[in-house]
A and B are shown apart, each in its own frame.
Chain A
Amino acid sequence: MMSWLPENVSTYGGEVDFLFYLIYYITGATFLLVTVTMLTFLIVYRRREGRRATYSHGNTTLEIIWTIVPAIILVVLSFMSQASWARIKGHAPPGDVEVQVTSKQFNWEMTYPGPDGKFGTGDDVTLENQLHVPVGKVVRVHLRSKDVIHSFFLPNLRLKQDTVPGREIPAWFQATRAGKYEIPCAELCGFGHSGMKGWLYVHPADEYEKWVKERWPSS
């Protein structure tokens, strides 16, 4: 099952995958424990002539054990998850690159602030469905929506964040490997939801420089 996860190219993706594997092993072990116990009971305690079922109403010690043990495991999981959650969604590090991503039926509009680093000025450039970023840099994404709720999904970067009309929602990622990755919309947004996708281009440093020079030749 683990091999089905898409390749991770994000700095924090390893934390997400670690928690995924951890829960996978814990739940997998629990599932095996319960299933093997159940099948054993079904075989051993199947109806046989001359044997009467045990008359028992329960056992308080067992009740306490199987209440407290899962509770401890689950609370520990919560605290382990909390650290990563705060890092990914809570406090974003300062961005090396800033991009505005605006969703609309059925496209992603990526707006780059240009050399002045400010949005809403004359050197802004908007590209449809193309997100160009440098590898190894913190990218801050300002998510907006023009019509309905969409969801900005970067499977390889372990990032998903809904875009909500009327709000600007911050998100961030830092890619560890250059390449071209898909950006599907993950929230039902109408008849064109399927197929609403863009591309994330993670460039090596020199290639990114070249792309910036081509885009803003005057600077």
Chain B
Amino acid sequence: MYDGAMGPEFYNAVFTMHATIMIFFVVMPILVGCFGNFLIPLMIGARDMAFPVLNMLSFWVGAVSGVVMLAGFFVPGGHAAGGWTSYAPLTAVTQYTGVNWGQNLWIISLIILGISSLMGSINYITTIINMRAPGMTFFRLPLVIWSLFIVAILLLLALPVLTSALAMLLFDRTLGTSFFLPAGGGEPLLWQHLFWFFGHPEVYILILPGMGIASDVLAVFARKPIFGYRAMAYSMIAIAFLSWIVWGHHMFQSGMNPALGTGFMISTMVIAVPSAIKTFNWLGTLWGGSIRFTTPMLHALAFVSMFVIGGLSGIFMASTPVDIFIHDTYFIVAHIHYVVFGGSVFAIFAAISYWFPKLFGRMMNEPLGKIHFWLTFLAFNGTFFPMHILGVGGHMRRIYNPLQYEFLQPLQPINVFITVSALVLGAAQLVLVVNFFWSLFAGRKAERNPWQANTLEWTAPSPPPHGNWGDTLPVVYGGPYEYSPPGVSEDYLPQTQSRVPHLAAAH
């Protein structure tokens, strides 16, 4: 046994909590919770969300969930160590991992989070359907609002499945039921079916808001209408529908009937098509543009190119025979990080730097922003690209010490390189933290519309006061991406301005 500073039990808890916290307490709360709540009313022209009290409840219930999750680090036996996918029976019986209350708290925390998410998603859906400003039709919504709308529907339908499965797992652990335990007549694969029935829509919950953010930022800084707006909206709807029938691709090697594997392979191949449509439309948006390389734009461009790698690597595991080899290897780890870090997290960086002036009334520092971008972009690829090679070499994931295997010994220098890159990647985030707080207090004061963008949030003061606008709410005359339109001297046309002058004057 390798004599490291960290034992194998703790290592298992660390990667379990890394994924759990990043997915449920970083990416989802920032993209959906934070930007959803901020952007939806501002971008549809509403004063607030439909149910402000429900919204507050959702927030505080979510906070309780976070506290319960963190408490797991301090109980005897340590935190949950069964992976974020928490496969039963490993997680259903305490003796299998040696973790008792850590696993219980993990389950209870996510059940509470499910309740929080349910309240939030009902609120989002109601707000977007009912509270749009006069003239704001569905096909005049910015794509980021489309993405949040679709995500809210996915959350509403997917999270309760996880919540139910977690309750069953908790009953197996504490009340002596046998939903997932074969000794009592249960079925271990039932957990995987339930978990991935939630889990695959969940992956799209993480990436769709990023797609919306990237679309908005690309249009603004290419000074061009988004290419194929309707194709962009329809492809997100298609992803939302298809995301319900692809969960089995996580289970090709699980012992599930191989004939089912074929069905899930075809649906999985098909779900790549709307993603391809989106990629080509982003390229179309850049074509003929007048591109400004601001920090938000750099992050949005990184989103597109990294999402391309993450999407293409997904085709490997969609193919059932190839998946036999790369399943449960680092190839999967590379894929998920190209989608969730290369995709969602770069979208978060784009969103922070793009909406910072609206959020706080000050601009972020551009040179610091660019330093942070380049360090992150290079270190990200240094960390995650070599994982493809490890995976192709057969390197299993969740392995405490690869040197225990002869066939993995030649791959060890790659592991070392990844570790160094990951440390640089982590350190690079300090630049963002410094920039964030420095700009918060000392950044240049932002005007109302510093990026010369069209969408409604830029007609409100920076930062927006309670109720967002003064006495009158905005009225919408056109689409969100009217950049460089003919017959207008500026290269943008806000949604509140009509191209026909007397219409605008009437208000």
Contact = CB atoms under 8 A, between A and B. Distances in A.
Interface in B293-307: 293, 301, 304-305
A194 B401 CA distance: 6
A59 B316 contact: no
B393 A164 contact: no
A186 B305 contact: no
B266 interface: yes
Highest count of chain A CB atoms <10 Å: which of B265, B321, B396: B321
A128 interface: no
Interface in A162-200: 162-167, 169, 181-182, 184-195, 197
Given A46-B291, A56-B225, A58-B228, A159 B321 contact: no
B358 interface: no
B362 interface: no
Given A52-B491, A58-B231, A74 B324 contact: no
Interface string B275-303: 01101110110111111110000000100
Given A38-B301, A47-B292, A148-B96, A27 B399 contact: no
Given A45-B287, A56-B227, A164-B254, A89 B312 contact: no
Q: Is the interface of A mostly helix, strand, loop or mixed?
A: mixed
B97 A70 contact: no
Contact of B258 (A16, A24, A62, A86): A86
A216 interface: no
Contacts, number: 281
Contact of B321 (A16, A24, A53, A187): A16
A31 B279 CA distance: 11
A109 to B, nearest CB: 17
Interface string A32-61: 001101100110011110011111111100
B399 A166 contact: no
A219 B354 CA distance: 79
Contact of A31 (B90, B225, B312, B402): B312
Given A58-B281, A148-B96, A27 B404 contact: no
B272 interface: yes
B270 interface: yes
A28 to B, nearest CB: 8
Interface string A50-86: 0111111111001100110011001101100110111
Contact of A55 (B265, B286, B293, B485): B485
A200 B273 CA distance: 41
Interface stretch (B325-333, B341-349, B451-459, B497-505): B325-333
Interface in B1-17: 1, 7-9, 12
A77 B321 contact: no
B259 A77 contact: no
Given A4-B393, A149-B188, A191 B81 contact: yes
Contacts of A189: 90
Given A63-B228, A149-B87, A153-B394, 7 more contacts: A35-B308, A37-B283, A66-B277, A148-B89, A182-B405, A182-B406, A191-B7
Interface of A: 1-2, 4-6, 15-16, 19-20, 23-24, 26-27, 30-31, 34-35, 37-38, 41-42, 45-48, 51-59, 62-63, 66-67, 70-71, 74-75, 77-78, 81-82, 84-86, 88-90, 105, 147-149, 151, 153, 155-156, 158-167, 169, 181-182, 184-195, 197
The 9 closest A-B pairs by CB, nearest first: A166-B182, A54-B288, A194-B400, A155-B394, A58-B228, A27-B312, A74-B269, A89-B258, A85-B320
Interface of B: 1, 7-9, 12, 81-83, 87, 89-90, 96-98, 182-183, 186-189, 222-225, 227-231, 253-255, 258-259, 261-262, 265-266, 269-270, 272-273, 276-277, 279-281, 283-284, 286-293, 301, 304-305, 308-309, 312-313, 315-316, 318-322, 324-325, 327-329, 388-389, 392-394, 396, 398-402, 404-407, 483-486, 491
28 contacts: A20-B392, A27-B316, A30-B308, A35-B308, A41-B283, A42-B286, A42-B301, A48-B290, A53-B289, A59-B228, A62-B228, A70-B272, A148-B87, A151-B253, A156-B407, A158-B325, A162-B254, A165-B89, A181-B407, A186-B327, A186-B396, A188-B87, A190-B90, A190-B98, A193-B12, A194-B398, A194-B399, A197-B404
